[in-house]
Structure 1
Amino acid sequence: MEHLEAFASWTRKSCFNEVSRRHAAWGLAVISLVGSLVKEQWPLPDSYFNNKKNVLNVYFVKVSWGWTFLCLLPFIALTSYVATRSLGTVFRRLGALLVGSMIWFTCTKFFILIENATGTCYNSSALLDIRPGFTDKRSCISSGGFWDGFDISGHSFLLPYCTLMILEEAAVAHFVRFEKSWQKHLINFLTLSLAFLIFVWIFMFFCTSIYFHDFSQKLLGTSFGILGWYVTYKQWYLMPYSPGLPLRSANKEGKRGYNK
């Protein structure tokens, strides 16, 4: 357990720090731009990671919001309760996950709507023979056709959004003192789990940038992800009627559970 504690402590200092939070959005934008430039100008040969059936894509990226939600739920609940001993604060802060779910659902549905509205059903990817009578991607593909529409990159949206949200929420562990051993062990495990997710999200975001979609589809997807984070954590969560921001410093009022 000592090694786990040391590794988790190092992870908090190296990954979930102020510098990471301040510059992550710019870093993700650069990854998207540079990766898209590489794809357009210097296409890379096929690899394991541009196969959509690779392990990280199938078991992690395709359910990336589920993994993010699953790890952040106990993390937010535990840190909020230990810091304030207030169930009201816990439920308020968990509201950030509800907001995140609404952003994920709304943007995903919007992307599908755009792809259906701009698409046409063809017999094959050669885009030569149109299949009349199909107005959405699902029915076209289920009939054996190929749908060609403006496909805003869902991965370029969700992976940056999940990354930025984790960085905002996980930084609180610097400022909360866990008095019970089970709390320390659980928070260490969750810290390492969140760090692993960030590594996977950023790596697969990079793979998306260099292998999939065109420039405008990735740019729009990334913009939606960063905008979702900015509107919530940099604007709305500063206001009274919101889930509120995670704790940013040791409590100066002497409330229980903070470092002093």
Structure 2
Amino acid sequence: MEHLERCAWFLRGTLVRAAVRRYLPWALVASMLAGSLLKELSPLPESYLSNKRNVLNVYFVKLAWAWTFCLLLPFIALTNYHLTGKAGLVLRRLSTLLVGTAIWYACTSLFSNIEHYTGSCYHSPALDKVREEHQSKQQCHREGGFWYGFDISGHSFLLTFCALMIVEEMAVLHEVKTDRNHYLHTAITTLVIALGFLTFIWVWMFLCTAVYFHDFSQKVFGTLFGLLGWYGTYGCWYLKSFSPGLPPQSCSLTLKQDSHKK
């Protein structure tokens, strides 16, 4: 348990920093540009991580939103209820996960449609001899063909969005004190460790995507959509009163307590 406590202390001290929330978006953009440049000018030799069937890609990245949703759900519920004590405010904050689900679904559907309408079916990845008889990606693959269109990087989008969302929600830990409640302390410590490792996996696999997969423009658009999803919610909409709102901060908690006393 002592090792877990130290791990949670490290992750908590790292990911809740305001500097992390401020500079992580820029770090992701810089790493995407650097990785893409490396891929174009001096490709790295193939490795386990360049195989799409690697464990992290199959069991984590392809289920990135499910992992993020399932871990943020209890984290937001526990921390927000601990700070506010109001079920209504907790439900309001949990609606951020519904917003995130809508963003994930809308963007992935858009990417799929763009790839469909800009693509054609070929005999092989060498893009030789278009197979005009196959007008959809699914039909093309069923017949052993290769579909090539403008495939915006869904990994770049989703890993950017998920990592930034987790970091935003973990900012609430500045206000959370669980020393007096052993069960709450254990639950939140476990969630902090899980979310921290998940964030590191998302960032690491984002780097692998930049270095090994997709064309430059596809990764640029994917990352841009991830940044827009994050900034459009946490940077703009959640600042409004008619929104799920940001994680509770000391100033907002003080205002609510003062109004309650009056």
Tell me which interval the TM-score lies in, with the shorter structure as reference length: over 0.9
Match of 1:126 in 2: 126
Q: Letter of the aligned partner of 2:169 in structure 1?
A: E
The corresponding residue for 1:171 is 171
Distance in 2 between residues matched to 1:110 and 1:157, nearest whole Å: 12
Match of 2:151 in 1: 151
Q: Which piece of structure 1 moves more, 15-24 or 47-56?
A: 15-24
Amino acid at match of 1:202: V
The residue number in structure 2 matching 1:63 is: 63
CA drift of 1:11 comes to: 1.3
Q: Is the 8 A contact 1:8 1:192 kept in 2?
A: yes
How high is the TM-score relative to the length of structure 2? 0.94
Cα distance in structure 1, aligned partners of 2:125 and 2:211? 21
Match of 1:189 in 2: 190
Deviation at 1:181, TM superposition (A): 0.8
1:4 to partner: Cα distance: 2.4
1:171 CA drift (Å): 1.4
| 8 Å contact kept, 2:15–2:170 | no
Kept in 2: contact 1:12–1:171 (CA 8 A)? no
SS of equivalent residue, structure 1 residue 252: helix
Q: Report matched runs for 1:8-87 at 5 Å.
A: 8-87=8-87
Q: Secondary structure at the match of 2:147?
A: strand
Matches within 5 A, 1:208-247: 208-247=209-248
Q: Percent identity?
A: 53
- Is contact 2:60-2:67 (8 Å) kept? yes
Ranges in structure 2 where 5+ consecutive residues have no aligned partner: 258-262
The correspondence for 1:252, drawn from 239, 251, 254, is 254
Query: Could you tell me how far 1:5 is from its partner in structure 2?
Result: 2.6
When the two chains are superposed, the root-mean-square deviation of aligned CA atoms in Å is: 1.3
What's the counterpart of residue 258 of structure 1?
A: none
Partner of 1:108: 108
Change beyond 3 A, Cα 1:79–1:120: same
Give, in whole Å, the separation in 2 of the partners of 1:207 and 1:30: 14
Amino acid aligned to 2:223: T
Structure (1 or 2) with the greater helix fraction:
2
When the two structures are aligned, how many residues end up with a matched partner?
255
Give 1:10 deviation, angstroms.
Answer: 2.2
Deviation at 1:15, TM superposition (A): 2.1
Q: Which residue of 1 aligns with 2:6?
A: 6
Mapped to 2, the partners of 1:33 and 1:208 lie a distance apart of 11
